[in-house]
């Protein structure tokens, strides 16, 4: 059977990297931000501004995951769905601690993107590599910029 035109030059290794590293990372981040948002929304915390900020971050990370899923489908790849673990942390003393945790999480996400970029480059898929590089360059700027 011939390789579908959309699948050409879309290596299996690239498909695995995007599924297991980036999509999973974005979904985990979305889940962690959701936990932060809802914690700040509790009656004993009552931090609606923080709650809104973290909810927007959760939606943004979820959107990143969906965009990668759409990309894999367009390239003729296969989506794999994994269990998203419960966030390791679900309480914070105050907003500053939550924002600090958020910043550390963004550093982890950036590292995952850069690792994926290196691995995709080694797999020889220039199209994916450009997309991941663009994502990596924008993530730090877009995350902290308010609309």
* The predicted structure's pLDDT at residue 48: 95
* The predicted structure's pLDDT at residue 133: 55
Residue 137 located in a structural domain: yes
Cα 100 to Cα 88: distance, rounded to the nearest angstrom? 15
Residue 2 located in a structural domain: no
Cα 112 to Cα 26: distance, rounded to the nearest angstrom? 10
Residue 83 located in a structural domain: no
Per the annotation, binding residues are 61
Instruction: Tell me which residue range forms the domain holding 33.
Output: 8-76+90-144
* The predicted structure's pLDDT at residue 120: 81
- The confidence band for 140, taking pLDDT boundaries of 50, 70 and 90, is very low
* The predicted structure's pLDDT at residue 134: 59
Q: What is the pLDDT of residues 13-38, one digit of tens each?
A: 888 888 888 999 999 999 999 999 99
Residue 85 located in a structural domain: no
Residue range 79-100: mean pLDDT, rounded: 93
- The confidence band for 132, taking pLDDT boundaries of 50, 70 and 90, is low
* The predicted structure's pLDDT at residue 147: 40
**Domain CATH for 68:** 1.20.1260.10
Domain count, the chain: 1
Task: Give helix then strand counts, H and E, for the chain.
Answer: 5, 0
Q: Are 105 and 25 in contact (CB under 8 A)?
A: no
Residue 1 located in a structural domain: no
Residue 84 located in a structural domain: no
- The confidence band for 4, taking pLDDT boundaries of 50, 70 and 90, is low
* The predicted structure's pLDDT at residue 74: 86
Give helix 48-74 / helix 95-123 axis angle, nearest 10°.
10
Q: Which of 82, 80, 89 is nearest to 33 (CA)?
A: 89
Q: Are 128 and 21 in contact (CB under 8 A)?
A: no
Residue 82 located in a structural domain: no
Q: Are 77 and 15 in contact (CB under 8 A)?
A: yes
Per the annotation, binding residues for Fe cation are 61
Whole-number average pLDDT of the chain:
83
The helix (H) or strand (E) run that includes residue 6 is none
Residue 42 clears pLDDT 90, i.e. is over it: yes
């Amino acid at each position: 059977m011939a390789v579908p035109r959309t699948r050409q030059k879309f290596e299996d290794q690239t498909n695995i990297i995007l599924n297991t590293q980036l999509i999973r990372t974005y979904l985990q981040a979305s889940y962690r931000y959701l936990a932060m948002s809802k914690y700040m929304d509790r009656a004993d915390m009552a931090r609606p501004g923080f709650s809104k900020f973290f909810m927007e971050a959760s939606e943004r990370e979820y959107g990143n995951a969906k965009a990668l899923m759409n990309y894999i489908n367009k390239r003729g790849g296969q989506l794999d769905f994994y269990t998203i673990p419960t966030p390791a942390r679900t309480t914070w003393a105050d907003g500053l601690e939550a924002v600090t945790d958020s910043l550390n999480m963004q550093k982890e996400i950036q590292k995952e993107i850069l690792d994926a970029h290196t691995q995709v480059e080694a797999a020889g898929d220039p199209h994916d590599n450009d997309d991941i590089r663009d994502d990596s360059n924008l993530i730090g700027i877009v995350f902290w910029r308010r609309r």
